[in-house]
Structure 1
Amino acid sequence: MDSQTQPQGFNIAGLLNDGAQVVAAAQQLPEPVTRIRSATARKQDAQSQAPLISLLGPLMQTPGITVLVASPGNGKSVLAVHIGDVISSSKTHLLGLPCDVEEKVLLYDFELTDRQFEKRFADFPFTDKMLTGDMNPAALDALDFTFDQIHADLDRTGARVVIVDNITALAMKNTADADVSMGIMRGLKRLQIERGISSLVLAHTPKIPDTVPLHINHLAGSKHLSNFADSIFFIGRSVTGPNVRYIKQVKNRNDEEMPGVLVFEITNAPGYLDVRLIGPDEEFNHLAREEAPRSEKSEELEEKKRKLWETDWGMKPMREIAEALDASVGWVCKWRPLKPSSN
């Protein structure tokens, strides 16, 4: 086709240039989000990767994402420091749970001031592998704490385990926001996959009655927090003593969940707050007993009144009557002259 018969606007040079740009653009396409492998190839790839190693028995393994959940004042910050210590020292157990590695730990503490931290752990024998990070007073007007900052801190410290107290430091918005929680867990997952980093993040629960067993749904925030985590465990407050707590695992992606609960006590050792193992138990033994519904109480009261009227109280001491009815002497004195209705 000569130039006289070419359609108006047709340009071979431009078409060739556009084609070259399309090819160049195709070559610069980003890597796909997913990897496609056969199941056999995936198993073979796994054999070249680092094995799962216990950092705190079944509660925390490396590499992985662990969430520690508790209501305020239940001791999660104290326990997190002890977890960081056992990982960063030559100690092999904490609360009877094995730690099979010794790694450098970076604890981000956005809860305590220096004075408060010193008061809690004044004479605690930390090793040089236990590092802490907090907000730099000279950079309070800087951007928010981000995962880019964590990556930079890992580069300059060489830490292999990250503890964040608490998860709200990674997002200035409510973690119940799905986009916020998804961003946090994706950031932790990136640390795990790209760098082999294990993370422990502390999170809150809403107020839970002391009669209710702890459940994964008590984790405050979006479902994404629990969906991405490899392990989740709670600290509950026991009714058996003011300083007695118990640990309950509610998720373990790598193995069976820890059975029952693990009971411990927060104690004042010379110069620091310590955690002392009491032993395994069942959660039921550490919950308050739920009172009977009001309707059941009313029926029970009426039944006691009937039994009182039928009792030969004129021949028996009131204390004996009270014991027979599982009531107080004062209650017997109050209701003794009243005959219950026959309805």
Structure 2
Amino acid sequence: MISGHEAKKVLEQRIPMLMNNVKVLSSSSSLLITKSANEWINEAKSKPIPNMLFGQLWFEGEVCILYASSNVGKSILAVQIADSISSGRSVFPLKMESQPQSVLYFDFELSAKQFENRYSNNYTDHHFFDERFYRVEIDHEAEMPQSSDFNKVINDSIEAEIRRTGSKVLIVDNITYLKNETEKSKDAIPLMKHLKKLKSKYGLSILALAHSPKRDQSRPINRNDLGGSAMLMNFCDSSFAIGESNRDKSYRYVKQIKSRNCDHIYGSDNVLVYEVQKPSNFVHFHFVDNSDEYNHLVTQTYQEKEERNQRIFDLKKEEWTNVKIAKEVGLSEGAVRKILKKSND
């Protein structure tokens, strides 16, 4: 037997070793990777520079969100982008720098017959897509496993198709089928985490289409127009939106909302204006020009502006914050502040 003094001495000698073991365990189970800034850069040098898939709006390796109101043309443009990537033909005037490659287009919007109608001349003279363009839809006759979560089954099925085809480009039309109620922030987080997980696991480029709630067409499109905006926008790498033009009912404009790989090129002062055309068997966005977004917004009448301003004053009396008022009336917080200040002068 050893004395209490000797036992204490042995324990004191072993404590540093035990602490080292704890540190090793903590490090090996960590979710974080720490390297010097120079190590990160040297490691990144060996990786290829991302190519443009849809000009400066979407690069390889990005999770990108395209959003717009209903019936504006999200699916039309998305199919055109998929056709561009699979065939190697760019959507003018935007560049497509990658080699032609396979695209998985998950179509949760149109039926096969509706898709045929859109890409044919009255169901004849069909447009011929490149064989690398894979369209996927839900098999409504398939049996749903008992007690299964629909969203999990969809997500697992998407992953299975990625493995089967080896595709690196994924377009999801639209993300409301991946998670329920994407306009609620609690559902937006797991949705974007799942997309980013797929991106990292398979080296994907993902374009996710999303609906925008009805918006005031007299004001510029902004990131708050995306349903579940705060969370969805935080998790994506890039985003662009489609707006209706007040200039012509067939005109649409494309606006860059978020970018991490390049400068903000197609903002409010330089939106891309397109005309939706179907000269024969391929409905598409035909480039018209670059323009200021304000040229395409609905102009409010004097009475409408007065009614809006009165609404702002009333809400302020109810002690609403300027940020909350701005969201309610479709203006920026700065614009609301100016209107309130002007009324007090």
Q: Is the 8 A contact 1:65 1:188 kept in 2?
A: yes
The offset of 1:191, in angstroms, is 2.1
1:277 and 1:33 map into 2 onto residues whose CA distance is 46
Matches of 1:282 and 1:213, distance apart in 2: 10
Q: How many residues align?
A: 275
* 1:61 alignment partner, SS class: coil
Secondary structure, counterpart of 1:176 in structure 2: coil
Instruction: Determine whether 1:262 maps to 2:289.
Output: no
Aligned partner of 1:208 in structure 2 is 215
Task: Say whether the 8 Å CA contact 1:124–1:272 is kept in structure 2.
Answer: yes
Question: Are the counterparts in 2 of residues 205 and 219 from structure 1 also a CA contact under 8 Å?
Answer: yes
Q: Are residues 1:221 and 2:228 paired? A: yes
Matched, 1:231 2:238: yes
Shift in Å, 1:29? 9.5
The answer to whether the 8 Å contact 2:88/2:96 transfers is no
Give the superposition deviation at 1:30.
Answer: 7.0
**Shift in Å, 1:272:** 2.7
Structure 2 Cα separation of the partners of residues 186 and 258 of structure 1: 28
Identity of aligned residues (%): 34
Q: Whole-Å Cα distance in 2 between the matches of residues 294 and 234 of structure 1?
A: 26
Which has the greater radius of gyration?
1
| Paired residue secondary structure (2:283) | strand
Are 2:171 and 1:159 aligned?
no
1:178 to 174, 179, 185: 185
Q: Deviation of residue 180 (structure 1)? A: 1.7
Shift, 1:271, TM fit:
1.8
* Counterpart residue number, 1:244: 251
C-alpha distance in 1 between matches for 2:187 and 2:66:
18
Cα distance between partner residues in 2 of 1:109 and 1:270: 22
Q: Distance in 1 between matches of 2:186 and 2:30?
A: 22
Q: Deviations over 1:231-257 (max 9, x none)?
A: 111100001111110000111111112
Determine the structure 1 residue equivalent to 2:91: 94
- Alignment partner of 1:149 is 2:157: yes
Q: Distance in 2 between matches of 1:295 and 1:89?
A: 48
Bigger Cα displacement from structure 2, 127-136 vs 180-189: 180-189
Give 1:145 shift.
4.3
Structure 1's consecutive aligned runs of 4 or more residues displaced over 6 angstroms after TM superposition are 26-30, 294-297
Q: Distance in 2 between matches of 1:64 and 1:216?
A: 18
Greater strand content: 1
Higher helix share: 2
- Measure the CA separation in 1 of the matches of 2:304 and 2:127: 51
Q: Distance in 2 between the 1:31 and 1:67 partners?
A: 33
Q: Deviations over 1:151-198 (max 9, x none)?
A: 2111101111000000111112x1133332111111111222222100
* 1:280 equivalent in structure 2: 290
Separation (CA, whole Å) in 1 of partners of 2:304 and 2:70 = 31
Partners of 1:219 and 1:274 lie apart in 2 by 23
Structure 2: give runs of 5+ residues left out of the alignment: 3-20, 121-125, 308-345
Find the aligned partners of 2:25 and 2:295 in 1 and give their Cα distance: 64
Distance 1:255 1:295 in 2: 37
Alpha-carbon distance change, 139 to 152 in structure 1, aligned in 2, over 3 angstroms: same
2:326 match = none
Residue 164 of structure 2 aligns to which amino acid in structure 1?
A: R
CA shift for structure 1 position 267: 0.9
1:131 to 122, 130, 134: 134
Stretch of structure 1 that moved more, 212-221 or 266-275: 266-275
